[in-house]
Amino acid sequence: MTRIENTFAALRAEGRKAFVAYIMAGDPNVDTSLALMKGLPGAGVDVIELGLPFTDPMADGPTIQEAGQRALAGHMTLDQTLGMVRAFREDDDETPIVLMGYYNPIYSRGVDRFLSQAREAGIDGLIIVDLPPEEDDELCIPAQKAGLNFIRLATPTTDDKRLPKVLENTSGFVYYVSITGITGAAAAQAAEVGPEVARIKAQTDLPVIVGFGIRTPDTAREIAGTADGCVVGSAIVSEMASGRKTEDVLAFVKSLADGAHSA
């Protein structure tokens, strides 16, 4: 079992919901983002999503796009991102890390080489938003063979005809996007999310985690209550962008985690 699968099994045994936090590698610089990353487990984060900066992040809203631009302006690279993971693993061998981004940097590196390096660094799963299920032979299936979970996104437009294809080679968990559009664009609504999560869970035994549009502890609790947990990204990245101290950002993260865990 991967760290992701072990974590969700432990949460299920405890009757607890998961809290997943997204940060952008290298935003605003390597040292600050690594310090934040190292503090996330202590703030109640069960799974870390680490953004890989990319020049054309088409699925991301302005907040995360700007975070990626700041990271790239600081010359953040794939190698430095993997280096952050290695540094994190020096002190934490349990918290799952999911690398989230786009296929181009991986393709440029070479899939086999990338997967070997990612596994060695301590990455547990991948979310690659621009690779549809029809392209599973490109990365999804090789990643699974290498021991990494490949996490797929389902959205409000993923109908019952499309859903089985989306779920076919997914592992670790399913990431349900609670709104139509880019990250950070609107607020998630539990009344709308609940039926969609139930529809997905009727077709898979995987945990379903809901992301997009979660900015407050109350919303984290409400959304986590409809699913197996929730993801917060843009709200955390916004706190970093505002120049707040790392400890203050971690306090904000803890408030969100407490909200999700109280569901």
Q: Can the peptide bond before residue 28 be classed as cis, meaning omega within 30 degrees of 0?
A: yes
Q: 128: which 2 tokens? A: 């690659």
Q: Which residues are catalytic?
A: 49, 60
21 phi/psi in degrees, rounded to 5: -120, 135
Q: How far apart are CA 50 and CA 36, in angstroms?
A: 11
Q: What angle do CA 177, 97, 109 make, to 5 degrees?
A: 95
* Residues with Cβ within 8 Å of residue 81, at least 6 apart in sequence: 25, 26, 50, 52, 53, 99
Q: 258: which 2 tokens? A: 């407490």
Closest CA to 59 of 103, 20, 25, 106: 103
Amino acid at 18: A
